[in-house]
């Protein structure tokens, strides 16, 4: 069986930073707003909003890359969402 050649830069973007923007992961705007629309990858490997780059395109982030304040906002929204997948901590 022949193994297909993988070009990481072409297939999954620029990996110099060691962080890959995967389709399976959730992506957020800088303020912590979940983004589910179309995206495009810049030549430096960063993911931005919109199918094509415009002046209004915004950089997207993984949860771990957001500021502490933005992470708190995301977690608060997840906990407030009734029927969401976020699990509330049990009080002891």
pLDDT digits (tens, 9 = 90+) for 56-79: 999 999 999 999 999 998 888 877
Distance CA 11, CA 65 (A): 22
Sign of CA dihedral 75, 22, 28, 51: negative
Note the pLDDT of residue 25.
84
* Residues ≥6 apart with Cβ < 8 Å to 25: 62
pLDDT digits (tens, 9 = 90+) for 37-58: 999 999 999 999 999 999 999 9
């Amino acid at each position: 069986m022949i193994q297909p050649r993988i070009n990481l830069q072409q297939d999954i973007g620029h990996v110099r930073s060691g962080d890959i923007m995967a389709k399976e992961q959730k992506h957020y705007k800088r303020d912590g707003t979940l983004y589910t629309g179309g995206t495009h990858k810049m030549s430096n490997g960063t993911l931005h909003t919109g199918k094509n780059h415009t002046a209004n395109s915004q950089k997207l982030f993984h949860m771990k890359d957001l500021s502490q304040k933005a992470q708190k906002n995301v977690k608060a929204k997840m906990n407030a969402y009734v029927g969401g997948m976020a699990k509330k901590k049990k009080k002891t």
